[in-house]
C-alpha cells in the first residue's frame, strides 16, 4: 500500500508500506474526496478560484448574523482583525472590506490589524463609490451596471497596521479579569464601531489553541499578557492550569463585544471551507465538522510517524510545534518522527537557545523564563528529542537543522526510504491540524 503525502506549497512524496506496517493515517484524503459541507458551506481547494467564490457566498449568507453590508452605517469605523496563520487571509480581507464599503463605510475608515501581515501586503478593493452602488442597486440591470462600473474603477489599497504589544499608547483598557488583572487590547479593537475577526479554526484537541476568541486575546493584548500566556503550563490544553486560562480568554472575548467572525475550516487534502456569522454560532458548526475530519484514534503507537505541514501558510515554527505535539501522541518511545516541510523561516530566540546551550535542562529553564515568541515550538522540540529521533525536511541550511539536534533530510526520497526501514508507521497529513490518539 502507498500513501501519498503533500507538504508545503508544492512538495510531494509517496510512502510505500507493505503488509501490516501501516498502522493508520490522518488527514490524508484522496484527491477526489471532498468533506461534507459546514453549515451549508462546501469545501474547495484552497488555491482555487472556487474557494474565493465560496468565500463570497459565506459572507453573503452568514450564520445568525446580517451580512456585513447590512451591519454597518455611514461613518462607522471598522477593524478587520486577522490572527496569524490564516490561509488566503488577503482574499478574505478584501472580500470583507468590499461588503463593508457596500454598506457605506468609507475605505479610509477600515483598518486591517495583524501581527505579521506579510501575506496582507497590497490588499486592495475597487473604488468605494462603485462598491456602494453595487450594494444599493436593486434590480438585475442596475446591479450589472454597478458591477461593470466597479470593475472599471481604480483599485485602492487598504490601510493595515501591525500590532505592537509594547506600545502602550496604542492599547486601550477593556476591563478586569475575575482575578482583578487589568486587560488591555489594541485601541483599534476597543475604539472601533465594529470588529470583524478572521481566524483559522482548530479543534479543542489542538495544542495551545484558544478558540475563536483567541484571535483577539491574548493575540492583540499587551506584552505582559502575551508573556503570561506563553507560560509552559498554559501551552498544553491537557494541563491543569489550561481550563482556567481559557475561561479568561472567553471572558475577554465577551467583554470585547466582538460578534462577527469569518473562519477558515481546514479539510484534508488541501481543501477548506469558510463559515461567517455570529461568533459562537460559527464555533459550534466548526467544532462538529472539525472532530469528524481531524480526530483520529489508532490501535497502537508506531515506530515512525511521518508528519507533513501542508500549505504555504503553515510553514512556520509554530506549526512545527503543533505537528510535533500531534506526532508525540502516537509515536513509540525510542522511535522517530519525520517532519516534512518547506520551512525557510530562521529559528527564533527559543530555538536559538536549544542550539546555543549544550545542557537541555538549562536551555529549557531559559526558555520558560524569557518566553520568546517561539517558546511553544522549542519546548515541543525539546520534549520530542528526549523521547525520539527527529528527522527534518525543510529549506533551511542543514547546519541549522543539525545545531537544533535534528537530522536534516535532503529530499522526499530519503523520507520514503526511512519509512521502508521502520517496523511500523503512522502518517499525519496536514499535521498542524491533526489530533491523533491511541486507544
Q: What is the mean pLDDT of residues 112-118?
A: 85
- The domain boundary, picked from 127, 162, 197, lies at 162
Domain boundary among 124, 142, 162: 162
- Listed range (51-60, 87-96, 137-146, 415-424) with the worst mean pLDDT: 137-146
* Grid coordinates of 435: 489530533
Confirm whether 38 is domain-assigned. Answer: no
42-56, 59-73, 132-146, 392-406: least confidently modelled range: 132-146
Encode 175-195: b = buried (16+ Cβ within 10 Å), e = exposed. eebeeeeebbbbbbbbebebb
Model confidence at 68, pLDDT cuts 50, 70, 90, reads very high
pLDDT (tens digit per residue) in 4-23:
999 998 899 998 887 789 99
Residue 162 has pLDDT above 50, yes or no: yes
Which residues lie closer than 8 Å to 369 by C-beta, 6 or more apart? none
Average pLDDT over residues 196-223: 90
Section 269-286 average pLDDT: 94
Predicted structure pTM score: 0.87
- pLDDT band, residue 226 (cuts 50/70/90): very high
Q: Is the pLDDT of residue 151 over 70?
A: no
30 vs 214 pLDDT, higher one:
214
- Does any domain span residue 336? yes
CB-based contacts of 303: which residues, under 8 Å, 6+ apart? 331, 332, 335, 336, 422, 423, 424, 425
> Worst-scoring range by mean pLDDT, 65-79, 148-162, 187-201, 261-275?
148-162
In a domain, 328, yes or no: yes
Is residue 341 domain-resident?
A: yes
In this prediction, residue 237 carries a pLDDT of 67
Does 286 reside within a domain?
Answer: no
Domain count, the chain: 3
Please identify which residue in the block is written with the cell numbers 468590499: 98
362 and 430 belong to one structural domain: yes
Q: Which of 162, 180, 200 finishes a domain? A: 162
In the block, cell 447590512 appears at 70
Q: What is the pLDDT of residues 242-252, one digit of tens each?
A: 888 889 999 99
Binning the chain into helix, strand and coil, the percentages to the nearest 5 are: 40, 25, 35
325 with 386, same domain? yes
Please check whether residues 353 and 432 belong to one and the same domain: yes
- Whole-angstrom distance, CA of residue 126 vs CA of residue 234: 43
Q: State the Rg of the chain over Cα.
A: 22
Same domain, 15 and 107: no
The reply to whether 332 and 430 lie within a common domain is yes
Residues 146 and 201 in one domain: no
pLDDT of residue 402: 97
For the domain that residue 328 is a member of, what is the CATH number? 3.90.226.30
Do 251 and 337 belong to one domain? no
Same domain, 175 and 210: yes
Q: Is the pLDDT of residue 144 over 70?
A: no
Same domain, 193 and 321: no
% of the chain with per-residue pLDDT over 70: 91
Instruction: Transcribe 271-309 into DSSP letters.
Output: EEEEEEEEHHHHHHHHHHHHHHHHEEEESS-EEEEEEE-
What is the distance between the alpha carbons of residues 84 and 319, in angstroms, rounded to a whole number? 11
Q: Which residue has the higher pLDDT, 290 or 150?
A: 290
pLDDT of the residue at 134: 37
Shared domain for 305 and 250, answered yes or no, is no
**What CATH number should be reported for the domain holding residue 239?**
3.40.50.11440
Q: Which of 210, 266, 214, 215 is nearest to 236 (CA)?
A: 210
pLDDT of residue 98: 95
Give residue 18's domain range.
2-33+295-438
- Do 237 and 149 lie in one domain? The reply is no
Residue 51 within any structural domain of the chain: no
Q: Is the same domain home to 148 and 132?
A: yes
| CA distance from start to end of the chain | 24
Asked, for residue 74, whether it belongs to a domain, the answer is yes
Position 30 confidence tier, pLDDT thresholds 50, 70, 90 = low
Amino acid at each position: 500500500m502507498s500513501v501519498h503525502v503533500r507538504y508545503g506549497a508544492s512538495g510531494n512524496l509517496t510512502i510505500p508500506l507493505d503488509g501490516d506496517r501501516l498502522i493508520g493515517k490522518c488527514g490524508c484524503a484522496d484527491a477526489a474526496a471532498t468533506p461534507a459541507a459546514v453549515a451549508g458551506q462546501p469545501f474547495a481547494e484552497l488555491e482555487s478560484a472556487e474557494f474565493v467564490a465560496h468565500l463570497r457566498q459565506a459572507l453573503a449568507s452568514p450564520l445568525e448574523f446580517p451580512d456585513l453590508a447590512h451591519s454597518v452605517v455611514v461613518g462607522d469605523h471598522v477593524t478587520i482583525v486577522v490572527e496569524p496563520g490564516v490561509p488566503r487571509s488577503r482574499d478574505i480581507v478584501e472580500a470583507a472590506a468590499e461588503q463593508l464599503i457596500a454598506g457605506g463605510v468609507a475605505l479610509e475608515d477600515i483598518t486591517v490589524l495583524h501581527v505579521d501581515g506579510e501575506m496582507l501586503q497590497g490588499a486592495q478593493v475597487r473604488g468605494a463609490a462603485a462598491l456602494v452602488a453595487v450594494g444599493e442597486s436593486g434590480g438585475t440591470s442596475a446591479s450589472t451596471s454597478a458591477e461593470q462600473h466597479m470593475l472599471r474603477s481604480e483599485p485602492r489599497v487598504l490601510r493595515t497596521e501591525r500590532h505592537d504589544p509594547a506600545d502602550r499608547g496604542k492599547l486601550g483598557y477593556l476591563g478586569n479579569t475575575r482575578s482583578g488583572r487589568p486587560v488591555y487590547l489594541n485601541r483599534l479593537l476597543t475604539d472601533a464601531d465594529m470588529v470583524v475577526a478572521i481566524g483559522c479554526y482548530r479543534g479543542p484537541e489542538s495544542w495551545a489553541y484558544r478558540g475563536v476568541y483567541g484571535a483577539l486575546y491574548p493575540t492583540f493584548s499587551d506584552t505582559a499578557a502575551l508573556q503570561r500566556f506563553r507560560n509552559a503550563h498554559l501551552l498544553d490544553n491537557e494541563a491543569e492550569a489550561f481550563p482556567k486560562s481559557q475561561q479568561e480568554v472567553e471572558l475577554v472575548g465577551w467583554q470585547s463585544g466582538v460578534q462577527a467572525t469569518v473562519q477558515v475550516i481546514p479539510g484534508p487534502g488541501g481543501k477548506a471551507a469558510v463559515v461567517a456569522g455570529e461568533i459562537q454560532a460559527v464555533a459550534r458548526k466548526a467544532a462538529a465538522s472539525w472532530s469528524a475530519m481531524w480526530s483520529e484514534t489508532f490501535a497502537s503507537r508506531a515506530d515512525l510517524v511521518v508528519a507533513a505541514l501542508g500549505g504555504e501558510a503553515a510553514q512556520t515554527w509554530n506549526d512545527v510545534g503543533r505537528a510535533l505535539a500531534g506526532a508525540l501522541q502516537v509515536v513509540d518511545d525510542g522511535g522517530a518522527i519525520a517532519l516534512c516541510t518547506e520551512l525557510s523561516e530562521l529559528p527564533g530566540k527559543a530555538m536559538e537557545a536549544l542550539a546555543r546551550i549544550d545542557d537541555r535542562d538549562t536551555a529549557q529553564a531559559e526558555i520558560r523564563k524569557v518566553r520568546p515568541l517561539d517558546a511553544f515550538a522549542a519546548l515541543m522540540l525539546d520534549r520530542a528529542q528526549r523521547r525520539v529521533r527527529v528527522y527534518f525536511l525543510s529549506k533551511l541550511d542543514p547546519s541549522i537543522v543539525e545545531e537544533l539536534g535534528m537530522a536534516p533530510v535532503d529530499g522526499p526520497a530519503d523520507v520514503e526510504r526511512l519509512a521502508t526501514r521502520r517496523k511500523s508507521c503512522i502518517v499525519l497529513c496536514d499535521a498542524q491540524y491533526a489530533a491523533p490518539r491511541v486507544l
